[in-house]
Structure 1
Amino acid sequence: MKDSTKNRLVWGVIAVVVLIYALGPVLSILANSFKPSSEFAGGGSFLPKAPTLENYQSIFAGDAKDLFLPALVNSLGITLISTAIAVVLATFAAYAIARLDFPGKRLILTSALAVSIFPVISIVTPLFNLWRQIGLYDTWPGLIIPYLSLTLPISIYTLTAFFQQIPWDLERAAQVDGATNWQAFTKVIVPLALPGVFTTAIIAFFIAWNDFVYGISLTSTSAARPVPAALAFFTGASQFEEPAGAISAAAIIVTIPVVIIVLLFQRQIVSGLTQGAVKG
């Protein structure tokens, strides 16, 4: 009994340390978002001495409005479209890899994993030159296509694990009952794989939502510039003033959708990740 209590105490301390380590930067940014510009001089304190909403007012109705609001719309639109395309394509590709026997499928899966960890910065320059030549620079498609290189490989790799857990006999039984291959896939396999599809969509959304390199390199105006890239163009009231407060406020606003998604669907995320991690 003593050992059990001791173990719980140790794990509780570890959990608190991890939470402080993980949430510390977020709490610091949240505190900075309520600080007036005068409190950033000389380092300042962790908590704001005179809390104010002027930083939030600046990004929604002030000087930073023209930078932040179009960027927020761009981020939402580009991220949702790229996530939807990645999940649909990955669903078909992962099903083929998991269910069909054809030469090179293991190579495809390995290549997908390799592409997902490939350094983005190494292909930005040639992509920049190509996009300028064919007219995709500073456009939504000009970001959606590169985002697929980030979201599609990891989506294929993740969904393949889910499809491998679904019993093959269920699809065969549906076909014996008269269902076509397409009907068996859409009415039997896909509903069973929904936890995995949902989890994959959230992962793909986070990857695209947080991208900075493509956003800053392949855009030049507010026509397609996403929020992470737009934050680099924030300016203070003068050339000698850092816009730390406005950037912090914008970072908090951008983080809210991610936090809401995780809080609302944390059970589905954990369920989907654990199902895909166990091989039957």
Structure 2
Amino acid sequence: MNLKNTNPTLYYLQRAGFYLLVLVIGVYLLAPFFWAVLTSLRSPGDLFLTPLEFIGAKTTFGNYTDVFANPGFQRGLIYSLIVAVGSVAISLLLGAFSAYALGRFRFRGKTIVMYVILAVSVFPQIAVLSGLYTLINNLGLYNNPLGLILSYLIFTIPFTVWVLTSFVRDIPGELEEAALVDGASPLQTLFLVLFPVMMPALVTTGLLAFINAWNEYLFALTFTSTNRTVPVVIANYSGATQFDQPWGQIMAASIVVTVPLIILVLVFQRNIVSGLTAGAVKG
């Protein structure tokens, strides 16, 4: 029964209510980001204006100029990129091998391994902080990007393995059988046959792991003293005096760090959706 034909008034009220709800949720989610962008485009003196005066104040890009001229922020961007890309690359490589083994082969204790991986992924960072600090310090990796990469693998590898395993299980076994019949080795089958099919899941897990590593703060603060990533650099931003808080520069730095993530999500949104929904529906 079509509600539009039977009760047009109720139909249009429902549609109006739906779009109103969508509008409210959109404003609620985008308002903080909009205000951050607005703050980054205002001079320090405008921060004490009333909201209406603040919105209509003169736009300036001085905060962005100061941020990019800051050597600490420049180094932070480089270190964040090195750490995030390194942790994602290692996670995808190890995660793909592990997912292939867990998703395709039968062996004793496989269920226990999966539950251990899931248990590790739900541990809070603070619970492993002291032990991990001791390990990294003893390995001589304190204040080293390699130490951060090693620490980030704790929460990127379990997530990667868990998502990729469920995806590998749904890949038709005929693909592997055809490759083996043609003389391909298991490694050739994995890299030349399964990896192209796994691309949506690889993109999804890689992007989410990159976002986690890019935004991580606690480990970066604990395991570094000078070679720090962007979140720590932004948190330690200070003004000319101890009473000066450069909110405009802090917001400008936050926008600069956030925009690349938004671009990546928009570029790979199709892969993200297909990767997250893979295995959710059984045919």
Shift of residue 279 of structure 1?
4.2
What's 2:154 paired with? 149
Shift of residue 254 of structure 1?
0.2
Name the stretch that deviates more: 42-51 or 116-125: 42-51
**Secondary structure of the equivalent of 1:277?**
coil
Residues 259-274 of structure 1 aligned to structure 2 (within 5 Å): 259-274=262-277
Separation in 2, partners of 1:48, 1:207 = 36
Residues 73-222 of structure 1 aligned to structure 2 (within 5 Å): 73-221=78-226
Q: Larger radius of gyration, structure 1 or 2?
A: 2
What's 1:247 paired with? 250
Matched-pair contact (CA < 8 Å) for 1:174–1:188: yes
Matched-pair contact (CA < 8 Å) for 1:68–1:230: yes
Matched-pair contact (CA < 8 Å) for 1:196–1:276: no
Matched-pair contact (CA < 8 Å) for 1:235–1:243: yes
Matched-pair contact (CA < 8 Å) for 1:171–1:188: yes
Separation in 1, partners of 2:56, 2:90 = 43
Calculate the TM-score normalised by the size of structure 2: 0.90
Shift of residue 274 of structure 1?
1.5
Separation in 1, partners of 2:91, 2:64 = 33
Counterpart among 217, 234, 237 of residue 234 in structure 1: 237
Matched-pair contact (CA < 8 Å) for 1:161–1:277: no
Evaluate the alpha carbon distance shift between residue 116 and residue 169 of structure 1 in structure 2; reply closer, same or farther with a 3 A threshold: same
What's 2:23 paired with? 16
Matched-pair contact (CA < 8 Å) for 2:203–2:268: no
Separation in 2, partners of 1:37, 1:255 = 22
Matched-pair contact (CA < 8 Å) for 1:161–1:279: no
RMSD (Å), alpha carbons: 1.9
Separation in 1, partners of 2:31, 2:104 = 45
Counterpart check, 1:54 vs 2:49: no
Shift of residue 277 of structure 1?
2.6
Evaluate the alpha carbon distance shift between residue 10 and residue 176 of structure 1 in structure 2; reply closer, same or farther with a 3 A threshold: farther
Name the stretch that deviates more: 52-61 or 127-136: 127-136
Separation in 2, partners of 1:121, 1:48 = 43
Deviations 1:43-78 (A, max 9, x none): 7666262322221111112xxx02211000100111
Structure 1 residue identity aligned to 2:167: F
Name the stretch that deviates more: 127-136 or 149-158: 127-136
Shift of residue 88 of structure 1?
0.8
Shift of residue 169 of structure 1?
2.2
Number of residue pairs matched? 275
Separation in 2, partners of 1:85, 1:5 = 52
Separation in 1, partners of 2:198, 2:135 = 38
